[in-house]
Amino acid sequence: MTSYRNRRTGQVHEPEPGSWMAHRLAGLPDVWEPVEPAPARPARTARKADWVDYAVARGYTRADAESLSREDLARLFDADDEG
């Protein structure tokens, strides 16, 4: 399934394939860019690079993700999963 990320806000939508929303987002390439589906959440003990890639896939900038420790990234996404 193709997801789309808003270039301005970072918001991600995963419309149903073939739906009107999928066609709408695909028709606005200056605003919505297609993105690969988010990878599976890394194990808490995974390498920091895996956590950075995961954070980027979830909409964070690479610079912001790299500025955090592996433990901070894991805690950040633990909090996301709880809420």
49 and 33 assigned to the same domain: no
66 and 81 assigned to the same domain: yes
66 and 49 assigned to the same domain: yes
49 and 75 assigned to the same domain: yes
Structural domain including 12 reads 1-37
pLDDT tens-digit series, residues 59-80:
889 999 999 999 999 999 886 6
Number of domains in the chain: 2
44 and 82 assigned to the same domain: yes
User: 24 by DSSP, 3-state: which?
Assistant: helix
Residue 33 β-bridge partners: 5
Quick one: tokens of 45? 């003990």
Quick one: tokens of 66? 């790299």
Quick one: tokens of 31? 């605003």
Q: Which residues of the chain register pLDDT less than 70? A: 38, 79-83
- Neighbouring CB atoms inside 10 A of 63's CB total 9
